[in-house]
Amino acid sequence: MVPDPTGMHIFVLAGIGEVRAGDDLAALILAAAESPDAGLADGDILAVTSKIVSKAEGRQVAATDREQAITDETVRVVATRVYPGGVTRIVENRQGLVMAAAGVDASNTPDDTVLLLPVDPDASARALCATLRARTGLRLGVLITDTVGRPWREGQTDIAIGAAGVAVLDDLRGTTDASGRQLDVTVAAVADEIAGAADLVKGKTSGNPVAVVRGLGRLVDARVPGDTAVRDAARGASALLRPSENDMFRLGTAEALAEGYAAGYAAGVAAGGLAPFGSTGTPAEDPGSMPG
């Protein structure tokens, strides 16, 4: 896709206020967009913080024990680390996202409650996008965003966990760079890039959960036959999820050591050189007690 030479403009939709279960999120967004400084235009992308989507969908639940809520939302434990205040868990959650605490959020919620992520962020994005388009007649895109940490990098950034009407990947393989060299592996995660840029204006404490990204209309509902962006837009943000079996870092260090130890011991038992765990003469070591 050719970049827009006019650049990109991002601004918040102020005045949305507190969102409660059952609220018409599209109506709240459009009311905020009625401000003279914040009208919507064809090709705009709305970056919507997942927290207000969860609140509108009633995903705020009673939970006196946040750790149990995290466990309930966990499909696979990726890594754990003990620190003075407790244990940090990086897990794969029910939405297929790998993140700390399964995305369970205890901030800005009443005591003894937590906020869970939308059940299906892509479905939430599709419903919101369809309603906004129907009420405005505009070609709009929607990204539902959430904040995550990254391996090898300090700090957090926002990513797209749900998407509708927006190309989430820009596949540049087969094209050439400015020097005429063919690109063989470059696939830009444009939805995540947009989510991160939008968070710069939304902020974490400003109470502005929705930003409008203007100038990237080429990514919104592009209808070019065979264009991979169209296919990825139809899949939503799930197109950004890498299967764990293809991920070079699918486990934390301690978990990888324990898994390798268990596999090696099992191979030794199968070869007849080691006694099974729990039998007479079993070594004191246990694969679950590996250091780290």
Supply the CATH number for residue 85's domain. Answer: 3.90.1660.10
Give the three-state DSSP class for 179. coil
pTM of the full structure: 0.84
pLDDT band at 231 (very low <50, low <70, confident <90, very high): low
Question: Phi-psi bin for 148: left (phi > 0), alpha (psi -120 to 50), beta?
Answer: beta
Q: For 74-119, what is each residue's pLDDT tens digit? A: 999 999 988 888 888 999 999 999 999 999 988 878 888 999 999 9
Q: Which of 217, 215, 233, 113 is nearest to 170 (CA)?
A: 233
Whether residue 79 sits in one domain with residue 197: no
Positive/negative CA dihedral, 114, 119, 121, 123: negative
**d(C-alpha 115, C-alpha 50), whole Å:** 10
Whether residue 165 sits in one domain with residue 35: yes
Residue 192's pLDDT is 97
Whether residue 31 sits in one domain with residue 130: yes
Whether residue 166 sits in one domain with residue 203: yes
Residue 61 burial (C-beta neighbours within 10 Å; 0-12, 13-18, 19+): middle
